Amino acid sequence: MHPSRAVSSVGAVLTALPLALGALVAPTVVAPPAAAAGQTTLASPQPLPTAQIDGIVLDQAVVGNTVYVVGEFKNARPSGAAAGENESPRYNAMAFDITTGALLDWAPKVNGKINAVEASADGSTIYLGGNFTSVNDESVYRVAAVDAAGKRKPLGASTNGTVMDLELSPDGSTLYLGGSFTQINSSARQRAGAVDLKTNKVTSFAPQVDDSLVRSITVAADNSAVAIGGSFTSVDGSSDAYGIAVLEKSGSLRHTNISSVIRNAGSNSGIMSLKSDSRGLYGTGYSQEGTFEGMFRASWTTGDIDLMADCHGDTYDVLPTNDVVYIASHTHDCSNIGGFSDGEQSGTYHHAVGFSSTATGTVRSNTARGYSDYSGMPAPTQYSGFLPGFQIGEYSGLSQAVWTVEGNSQYIVYGGEFLAVNGTKQQGLVRFAASGGDANAAEPGNEDANNGNNGNNGNNDDGDNGKDKKDKDKKDKKKNKKKQDDWDNQDDWDNQDDWDNQDGWGNQGGWGNNQRGWGQGGWDNQDDEW
């Protein structure tokens, strides 16, 4: 989702404390000691004061000290402020200072959901993609550019369908788009295309994505290839592209081994996120049919898997760093790679998990009913010291917490719809210092460890968020998971109550009341998919 220049420079991983409702103001954080030579660098387990939003964060981009944040929200407020207090209007886009967490003035007025944000290396241009039709009261169609002051900049691109993801080429000359569209400007482009930023014209990059949609797009660090991920079942008529495809710069399919292992596509599974650095192509998956859930890294050239965190639980985003690979997810079982298991804490979902950036063993034989067996694949270590506790949010009605993770060499930032982090009320955004944690912290469930009871993800907060999960057995949890995790069969956010065609958010019926849940409706069979 973000250029390789951002993900490859991060040198640390975060850990966090368990969730138990607490004070409104985050605790003071003492600068942690530097890690010894050869020791994995983990972030401080304490969340840092961070600006908040009143909706949902879907993507972030970090440039210098600025974090650009997009999604669906109407207001932002400082850390420590309760909902409705000290709010500043924001229109689905905002920014904060990564070093202080303070809200910045950047506030372009965008009239619909923003799925993706990208920023030029110098921070002079910020690109937005989603399902909006105007920026600063000027007509644009689902893709736009603004400057560091929030003013609209010329961009010779519009699409006839939703933009799900954006990616800049490493040299900053080309903007790649993925989504459900079939045209960019007047040129036919089947769910993926590109714009030359020097000429503002559509390029010849034109893969034929045969069905469904593209959710994520990324470019190799050496600019030699492009990868797309989603729920499509073929590209150029070839099933070698089944949910994920590596493409030549022309857009033609590069035949690799990746789809022989990762087979996530169709109505009940797919690829959520792709990232790239000098080590390879990273991806995350979701599934309702037992295919891949978790994180992997593959060779751009051969498609061979060199790292696989085969953990059960849908995974939404990935951030590779020098030492650790972070995910945003609702993972509940990493026992296949020697990590925490379902049985350790019944009903607990870990929304943020960290893994070693190199393989330390192999995936074990799968023992959970209904899941594919990836035994023998190279597996990382799942760090027990990185299991922050997030209170599940309510905004989307999907019982989730985090959707995106980004960072730089000093801080890691998570975004989503959560309501608290590690006992501190904190809505939608949180940052952590990038050093000071313990990679060898005690296993989950040890209340003397940094992670305590791992927060139960807000299950004890007034009994209204995941209250039934804590006491459910594994069978019930799996049933509940399947009800919630069917990305491809939920009602579309933008099509219920006509979000983008109404005058204001207050006139819509509301997500939680009018959507029928993930198991109904059909993401990939509608005009505007997530």
Q: Is residue 171 part of a domain?
A: yes
Q: Give 423-470 pLDDT, tens digit per residue.
A: 899 999 999 888 766 777 654 433 233 333 333 333 333 333 333 333
The pTM of the full predicted model, rounded to 2 decimals, is 0.82
Residue 187 lies inside a defined structural domain of this protein: yes
40 Cβ neighbours under 8 A, 6+ residues apart: 13, 323, 324, 356, 383, 439
Which of these, 421, 488, 476, 472, lies nearest to 451 by C-alpha position? Answer: 421
* Phi, psi (degrees; rounded to nearest 5) at 166: -130, 150
**Is 39 a domain residue?**
yes
Q: What is the pLDDT of residues 143-170, one digit of tens each?
A: 999 999 999 999 989 999 999 999 999 9
Q: Which of 59-73, 78-92, 286-300, 485-499 has the lowest mean pLDDT?
A: 485-499
Residue 410, in any domain of the structure: yes
| 338 vs 460: CA distance, rounded Å | 28
Domain assignment of residue 530, yes or no:
no
482 lies in a domain? Answer: yes
pLDDT, tens only, 184-232:
999 999 999 999 999 999 999 999 999 999 999 999 999 999 999 999 9
Residue by residue, DSSP assigns 208-238 as BB-SS-EEEEEE-TTSSEEEEEES-S-BTTB
Beta bridge partners of 192: 178
CA separation for the pair 437, 435 (Å, rounded):
6
More confident residue, 339 or 345: 339
* H or E stretch covering 351: strand 350-356
For 42-70, what is each residue's pLDDT tens digit?
Answer: 777 788 999 999 999 999 999 999 999 99
Cα-to-chain-centroid distance, residue 84 = 26
Q: Give the per-residue pLDDT at 434.
A: 80
Residue 427's nearest CA partner among 25, 18, 53, 21 is 53
Q: Mind listing the pLDDT tens digit for each residue in 242-296?
A: 999 999 999 999 999 999 999 999 999 999 999 999 999 999 999 998 899 999 9
pLDDT value, residue 433: 83
More confident residue, 80 or 528: 80
Closest CA to 159 of 127, 193, 136: 193
Exposed e or buried b for every residue in 427-440, given b needs 16+ CB within 10 A? bbbbbbbbbbbbbe
What is the tally of structural domains in the chain?
1
How confident is the prediction for the chain on average, in pLDDT?
A: 80
Q: What is the pLDDT of residue 369?
A: 87
CATH number where 74 lies: 2.130.10.10
Mean pLDDT in residue range 99-105: 98
Instruction: Quote the domain boundaries for residue 474.
Output: 4-248+256-460+469-525
